[in-house]
């Protein structure tokens, strides 16, 4: 029991936590800054999303307003693009950048972008593995410490959590590609001017760090589990 309380492997997860907190602060501050910069085009985030969808033959994809800040996402199951009020109704550069990014996911879905297809396929298992994997591993480890080795339970936990790690890694190219599509469409479509594009890029780059932090944190946690597993032998 003292080993779990003073577990030195906790230090492995610490950089991930710090990275995550920094990334969250970065995206909020950058979004807040460029939410005050209004795009010259006069489009709102919803306008941009609907126009991009229409131009790409995806007029059947609904654009909805949802509550919260930075709760924007594309729902491939229902074919709905959901934008937070601060993006849906705003004419800011930040809003247009985020709206175009989320629309990029709809374009990925329409073209069966390989990384998105893979991420969607493993999403259910990853959602289960991220929590159940840790629970199984720690349960097996605790029981083993009382003289009843359950290596298969710990191994199962590691495998389940490993799926969640793969999910975070596959998410990276999906998000990077959506941002790349967004910046191209924003300029070519005339939604933002050439001198406004760098501002939108800063918003999308800041958001990308949150996904990088999530992947790094997951990898570090997997390393920690593997070390604990080895120490339990």
Q: Which residues are catalytic?
A: 102
CA–CA gap between residue 105 and residue 217 (Å, rounded): 24
CA–CA gap between residue 33 and residue 179 (Å, rounded): 19
| Phi, psi (degrees; rounded to nearest 5) at 67 | -75, 165
């Amino acid at each position: 029991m003292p080993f779990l309380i003073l577990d030195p492997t906790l230090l492995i997860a610490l950089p991930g936590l710090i990275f995550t907190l920094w990334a969250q602060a970065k995206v909020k501050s950058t979004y807040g800054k460029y939410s005050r910069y209004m795009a010259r085009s006069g489009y709102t985030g919803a306008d941009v999303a609907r126009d991009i969808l229409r131009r790409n033959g995806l007029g059947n994809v609904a654009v909805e307003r949802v509550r919260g800040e930075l709760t924007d996402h594309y729902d491939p199951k229902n074919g709905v693009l959901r934008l937070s009020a601060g993006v849906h109704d705003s004419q800011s550069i930040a809003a247009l950048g985020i709206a175009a990014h989320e629309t990029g996911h709809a374009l990925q879905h329409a073209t069966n972008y390989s990384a998105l297809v893979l991420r969607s396929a493993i999403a259910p298992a990853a959602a289960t593995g991220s929590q159940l994997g840790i629970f199984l591993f720690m349960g097996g480890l605790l029981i083993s410490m009382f003289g009843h080795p359950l290596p298969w339970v710990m191994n199962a936990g590691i495998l389940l959590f490993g799926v969640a790690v793969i999910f975070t890694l596959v998410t990276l190219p999906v998000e990077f590609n959506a941002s790349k599509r967004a910046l191209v469409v924003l300029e070519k479509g005339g939604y933002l001017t050439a001198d406004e594009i760098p501002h939108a890029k800063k918003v999308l780059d800041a958001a990308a760090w949150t996904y990088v932090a999530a992947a790094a944190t997951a990898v570090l946690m997997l390393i920690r589990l593997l070390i604990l597993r080895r120490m339990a032998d």
